[in-house]
Amino acid sequence: MDLRLLSFALGASSSLLWPWLPSWEWGGLMLLLALPLAGGRCWRLLFLLLGILWMQVNLHYRLAWLDQLGKKTSHIITAHVQSTESSGEKEGDKFARLLLRLDTLDDRPLIVPPLVRVNAYQVLPPLPAGSRVTLVTSLKPAHGLANEAGMDGRRLLLGKGITATGNLRRVIALDAVPPGVRDRWLAAASRAWEGMAQAPLLAALTFGEQGGITDAQWELFRGSGLTHIIAISGQHIALVAVLGWWLGRLFGLRGAICVSLLFAATYSWLAGFAVATERALIMVLVWSLLRWLKRDWPSHRIWLWAFVVLTLWDPFALYSAGFWLSFLAVALLLLASLLHDRPGLVRLQLLLLLGLLPLQLLLFEGMAPLAFLLNLLALPLFCLVIIPLALIGVLVAPLSTLLAHGLLWVSAFGLEWVLWGLTQLADRLQLW
């Protein structure tokens, strides 16, 4: 079983190396090769081809709508708002970034509603998630796979599920829906952290709202190797799931599983079910299902199953830097547990630093020289104090603004100290 899963994973991952998207003829050829392999029980090669076919079919299916863009420079779209991100003043204009799920393109319905990102250099009214908009935009493919130009750096947008980007040219209609439960919860939390200098960071850690973080702050986090802590990712969902598991043990194994899932799902919901959080939640579901069924599988098999399930659920995950960093980090932790019964925190951090270094150099063209030391100091603070207190504060915000304010103040105080320390080291935080 393990080698079959590994073969499928390798076949799917080979799409990262494709110079262009293979045509349907290549898919037909591979299908013809797969049929005799199934009869001959050549399972490893068969699963390798199935992985390649899975990626090819999905990419063709989900990118087919891009052919409708043609050479036109303007398109009328109707879409539902997934999220909005304000970036303050940019180039003298109010700037907002809209994440939209398209319903129609130039009055033609789309069978598979794609996700697109539109930049708006104008003042827009509040648009809660679910609002319906009709806009004139300039859209273009977000990657090189739309033609045979090959894949470039923009392919990372595919990792976020985004298949096209563009600018807003004109607003035709805006149909804003009343704020949903999450938006009202965010408003309650905003009242609780109102006036705090680190309110934008609290919003990012709890709701995934990163628009208020300044470029200077992002530079500090990038130079220190701490961006993975600020942007809600699998690490945050896993942390909350572990906290839920720890609390749920009072109710037995299945109680712990249910509480762990509840915590992870709640955090994912607060974060707006962003692509990264959805993927992490799926991983928690896979692990929980195996625990529920009391499957006594080795860790590497669970790792392989998680990889394959996520690839089947969301093939675009393979284009996400966070996906590879997360899976490689888990693989390194599994390796550490094999080499040592109880590896220490320093040893784990050093292993992660060295193990992730080649991938970090490949993805980000540099490394944070102080990342090892800063992560060693900051991770416990974030995992044990800042994030838990911020989440508890957010959860109680609709019930008691005063209590929420106190919890969030302590969390913000921790963030103040982190930023102060990073600022003192600013000259040494440039990427190498």
Domains in the chain with CATH codes: 2-65 (no CATH), 70-175 (2.40.50.140), 186-428 (no CATH)
H/E stretch holding 408 reads helix 401-424
Yes or no: say if 121 and 86 are a contact pair by the CB < 8 Å rule: no
Q: Which amino acid is at 234?
A: G
Instruction: Determine the Cα–Cα distance for residues 303 and 236; give it in Å rounded to an integer.
Output: 18
Yes or no: say if 27 and 288 are a contact pair by the CB < 8 Å rule: no
Which residue reads 């712990």 in tokens?
Answer: 256
Instruction: Determine the Cα–Cα distance for residues 324 and 363; give it in Å rounded to an integer.
Output: 10
Q: Which amino acid is at 48?
A: L
Q: Residue 69's CB: how many other CB atoms inside 10 A?
A: 18
Yes or no: say if 52 and 30 are a contact pair by the CB < 8 Å rule: yes
Q: What is the mean pLDDT of each run of 10 residues along the chain (432 residues)?
A: 89 86 76 70 84 90 88 90 68 74 93 91 83 92 52 67 91 85 91 93 91 84 81 82 89 90 92 81 86 82 88 89 81 76 68 72 65 79 91 93 95 93 73 51
Yes or no: say if 95 and 168 are a contact pair by the CB < 8 Å rule: no
Q: Looking at residue 155, what is its pLDDT?
A: 67
Q: Looking at residue 211, what is its pLDDT?
A: 77
**Dihedral pair phi/psi, residue 21, rounded to 5°:** -80, 115
Yes or no: say if 108 and 81 are a contact pair by the CB < 8 Å rule: no
Residues 6 or more apart whose Cβ sits within 8 Å of residue 338:
none
Which residue reads 């976020």 in tokens?
Answer: 160
Yes or no: say if 218 and 307 are a contact pair by the CB < 8 Å rule: no
- Cα dihedral value 241, 243, 248, 249, nearest 10: 110
